[in-house]
Amino acid sequence: MESTEASVTFQLGWPQMHHLFALLCLVAVVKLTMLLAERRDAFRNIETFPGPPAHWLFGHVKEFKQDGTDLEKFVKWGQKYPYAFPLWFGPFVCFINIHHPDYVKTILTSTEPKDDLSYRFMESWIGEGLLVSKGQKWFRHRRLLTPGFHYDVLKPYIKLVSDSAKTMLDKWESYANTNESFELFNHVSLMTLDSILKCAFSDNSNCQTESGTNAYIKAVYELSDLINLRFRTFPYHNDLIFYLSPHGFRYRKVRKVACSHTEEVIRKRKEALKEEKELDRVQARRNLDFLDILLLARDEKQQGLSDEDLRAEVDTFMFEGHDTTASGISFIFYALACHPEHQKICREEIIQALDGKDTMEWDDLSKIPYTTMCIKESLRLYPPVPGMSRKITKPMTFFDGRTLPKGSLIGTSVYGIHRNAAVWENPNVFDPLRFLPENVSTRSPHAFVPFSAGPRNCIGQTFAMNELKVATALTLKRYQLIEDPAHKPMLIPRLVLRSLNGIHIKIQPVDPQE
């Protein structure tokens, strides 16, 4: 009896299963047809842009070995294909990679939004903050956040950054005089996280002196790697496939760690601001910070940021405000360690500017022009954000007459621009004199874009440059930075520029008699 019922159930269920399978096949065929049509259109759209040969299925993905040579491959391709060339990621996704100031100017002077592929993979982590938002939402947020970067707000940050830098340098005493190299990226990451928490969120976290690995920094490292992996793995472009994968599971786990960190920062501040509704009243008690301005910002309709928008901006600034500057400072230290002759000039300038002080003040920032040139030259050779991308909403024509249609994906290789031999003489040579005013005036302003350019440039670039100056000045005043030839950085492009094998230097205390 039971077997008969089972047989009847099976016979009744099979037609439904058959129809479901047929429907899935139909959906798959339609989707594949659409993708093939997109591929055909993409080939037609890039006809005037020759580039390196691509595999029919993998595109150029297999060309990138993740072994520290990928960025140099971009530069070599740029020499062969001037201005721009196509890059395929899988069989259906094509970016036009641009690497010349005259092309970069066209895209960066526009307000075209970030692309909806690679940046989409970040949204579940940092939300629709300034980095990825577009249209009216981006304009509104940019306007609301701009007061947070006024120099009156930034001024008190110099002492806070100095304190964070001195904490890091105190820890470095254990490495001085040992003649042993150490990996500095993690140290600098803790210092920049400490700085951003103090400056932007008035949070004295003591993250530099806590034992063990900082959970937030570890989570940011992993998220960066997983987002990069997802972009390079075509099946992972599908949300469901990535969600079900082991990498998707890991992504959700570390994202929770990162987001809980920022949620706790917001919660503590909201609690403290319960009684205060105006910035003037807050400022009467203490210096304003970025989070004050976010919480109390109002547009012309007296509307503030929603809780979701607030979290997105805090997540964005927490990530961008510590990870990009950590990359920048780490490579500045490495570059100066490799060029002791320039390091010596910087140190002399810094000692004269500080005039016996062991901390930096606002007025000191303008007294170290040679050090500033060295910082800019390091940002040229090692841009913290090695690339960025946009999706154009209307046809775009470049100076040489070539046009891309609406919907095209355009990648800007900041690393490629900064090492373009057609723009920079001896581009791989460290030469801070490139940034003398008379030399800068002969170049396109879009030849040097470590903070992007145009209306969507980095809103925090003044804060970032100030932090780079303070960290560099206080470090050189206290230590000699020495290259470790056995550990050359192997550069890899992630969300920020990193080194596959870390960034190693040696240090010695500066002789006060010198």
Specify binding-site residues: 458
State the sign of the Cα–Cα–Cα–Cα dihedral 108, 114, 117, 120: positive
What are the E-state strand segments in 22-117?
84-89, 93-98
Nearest to 464 by CA among 195, 231, 208, 267: 195
d(CA 431, CA 381): 10
Please say whether the beta carbons of 342 and 405 come within 8 A. no
In order of 138, 142, 407, 504, the CA distances from 145 in angstroms are 10, 5, 29, 37
Residues in the chain: 514
Quote the CA–CA distance of 252 and 230 in Å, as a whole number: 13
CA angle 175, 465, 310 (to 5 degrees): 105
Separation in Å, CA 166 to CA 195, 205, 289, 360: 11, 15, 21, 11
Distances, alpha carbon 298 to alpha carbons 140, 277, 458, in Å: 10, 11, 22
Annotated binding site for heme: 458
| Whole-number Å distance between alpha carbons of 478 and 180 | 17
Helices (H), 109-156: 120-126, 135-145, 151-154
Phi/psi for 465 (5° steps) reads -65, -40
The H-assigned helical ranges of 355-441 are: 369-381, 414-418, 437-440
Q: What crossing angle do the helices spanning 325-338 and 340-354 adopt, rounded to 10°?
A: 110
Residue 404, strand partner residues: 396
